[in-house]
Structure 1
Amino acid sequence: MAEPSAEPGAGDAAATPRVVVLDHGSGNVRSVVRALEAAGAAVELTADRDLALAADGLVVPGVGAFAATIEQVLAVGGDRIIERRLAGGLPVLGICVGLQIMFDAGTEHGQRSAGLAQWPGEITGLQASVVPHMGWNTVEAADGTQLFRGVESERFYFVHSYAAREWTMEQIGSLAAPKVTWAEHDGDRFVAAVENDALTATQFHPEKSGDAGAKLLANWLGTLPRRRPGAEGAAAGAQQEASP
């Protein structure tokens, strides 16, 4: 398995990234937790608001239907946690349906459900002769990617029938345009990953993608800011006071 990127003081507890995996009822959470731990993170599976806000990184997993996942996330206040973290520039990683719910909406089986509207656009069904898209596939990594550094030509594991098949968000003012990585299934091109400042997401499952997925997770962990030990309570308290 790929080793996490070496950093000064990586052996110290203070240098270990602290990650919360949002516990909203998704079926793949344990494998995500294990993969992040193997990549070098200290991981807690919880929906606790204060812990999620104080963590160096937040991971939002998701499997199954868009509508069910967004309902689960809303039920634990995940929308407010994600919004608060992103407003403060604190990293969030979405996985599979955790990517999809970041868009305006998703339509499955004729049912349209609102998403978190972090990105414009809608999740729609893949236009392919074989659905779901299940198995290993390569990606077209974005120029300047940090997430895919060292694994640009590797294969990743996908399981999905719906996707973001268009991308309309470009550069806004002085903010850099998001880095969008694409993949293709049976001639249908779709968004495989997005790197958008603090918000990153993958349509594939890095926790099921072997060494390539381990390296990708290590790359993401390497981008996380490290907060000084003991700052958790103060950070969470400040966030709570600022909440409406």
Structure 2
Amino acid sequence: MIAIIDYQAGNLTSVYRALRWLKQDCQITRDYEVLNSASHIIFPGVGAAGEAMAHLRQTGLDGVIVRLAQEGKPLLGICLGTQIIFDYSEENDTPCLGILPGEVKRFPDDMAYDGLRLKIPHMGWNSVSFRGDHPVFRGIPANAEFYFVHSFFPQPKRKENVLGTTSYGIEFSSAVGSENVVAVQFHPEKSGKPGLMLLENFCRWRGTDAE
């Protein structure tokens, strides 16, 4: 069973519907027992890092998520769920979960392309240059585009944790991971066939380099 963590950060229903379309057994939950028994964990979210971390601490879910990641359970972060698995976010000056080493930065205000100033948040479709042959991204076409909505982006401390990059004024990390943890800044549940392929790959993944 795939557990979708409910921590009042939105975007849960669209993830649930995508998994059900893939005929996956899944549940939106904040119940510790359900999370412990799940085969896989999805950690989605939209909103602000400070508010999300405050809710995780109030409910004790922060410790649960860290423990599940340390125990080797496959975990997929999405958007805000990707950002707060790092040590720190510039958004709200927020200490985060520290599952991956690094921080989350805001896009510079002066970004431009072809002489035109780029808007923040970065919103819309963009490609991802995946690195290596990670099982969660396997089979996704090189020209595939994914849907982004964000003003902040992850900046891993270790280069080996960068699994994919995207260009929007600057080149930023849009897919990250280590061992049983993988996370994406875009929304696979809103990205059509490539996003569904990613979610299906994750549901098959055992948290190692092999499917």
TM-score, with structure 1 as normaliser:
0.77
**Structure ranking higher on relative contact order (CA contacts 8 Å, 6+ apart):** 1
Contact 2:162–2:173 (Cα < 8 Å) also in 1 = no
Residue deviations 1:205-234, cap 9 Å, x none?
011001110000001111147xxxxxxxxx
Partner of 1:236: none
Deviation for aligned residue 1:130:
1.4
1:85 aligns with 2:68: yes
Partner of 2:151: 161
Q: Distance in 2 between matches of 1:78 and 1:202?
A: 20
Aligned residues: 198
Q: Which amino acid in the other structure matches residue 221 of structure 1? A: C
Partner of 2:179: 197
Partner of 2:204: 222
Structure 2 counterparts to residues 121-136 of structure 1, below 5 A = 121-127=102-108, 128=111, 129-136=118-125
Match of residue 211, structure 1, among 174, 177, 193: 193
1:53 aligns with 2:55: no
Bigger shift: 74-83 or 21-30?
Answer: 74-83
Contact 2:161–2:178 (Cα < 8 Å) also in 1 = yes
Contact 1:20–1:51 (Cα < 8 Å) also in 2 = yes
The RMSD of aligned alpha carbons is 1.5
Q: Distance in 2 between matches of 1:25 and 1:167?
A: 26
Deviation for aligned residue 1:179:
5.2
Q: Which runs of 5+ in 1 are unaligned?
A: 1-17, 171-176, 226-244
Q: Please state whether the residue corresponding to 2:135 is helix, strand or coil.
A: coil
Q: Distance in 2 between matches of 1:84 and 1:209?
A: 30
Residue deviations 1:33-54, cap 9 Å, x none?
1111222311111100011011
Q: Please state whether the residue corresponding to 2:130 is helix, strand or coil.
A: coil
Q: Which runs of 5+ in 2 are unaligned?
A: 112-117
| Structure 2 CA distance for partners of 1:89 and 1:215, relative to 1, 3 Å | same
Percent of residue pairs bearing the same amino acid type:
34
Q: Which amino acid in the other structure matches residue 157 of structure 1? A: Y
Q: Please state whether the residue corresponding to 1:135 is helix, strand or coil.
A: strand
Partner of 2:78: 95
Q: Distance in 2 between matches of 1:178 and 1:124?
A: 16
Partner of 1:150: 139
Contact 1:194–1:201 (Cα < 8 Å) also in 2 = yes
Larger radius of gyration: 1
Q: Distance in 1 between matches of 2:50 and 2:70?
A: 25
Contact 2:156–2:162 (Cα < 8 Å) also in 1 = no
Q: Which amino acid in the other structure matches residue 195 of structure 1? A: G
Q: Which amino acid in the other structure matches residue 36 of structure 1? A: L
TM-score, with structure 2 as normaliser:
0.88
Partner of 1:14: none
Q: Distance in 1 between matches of 2:127 and 2:147?
A: 9
Contact 1:95–1:203 (Cα < 8 Å) also in 2 = yes
Q: Give the ranges of 4+ consecutive aligned residues of structure 1 lying more than 4 Å apart after TM superposition.
A: none
Contact 2:2–2:40 (Cα < 8 Å) also in 1 = yes
Q: Which amino acid in the other structure matches residue 149 of structure 1? A: R
Q: Distance in 1 between matches of 2:85 and 2:32?
A: 19
Q: Distance in 2 between matches of 1:182 and 1:88?
A: 28
Q: Distance in 1 between matches of 2:131 and 2:64?
A: 28
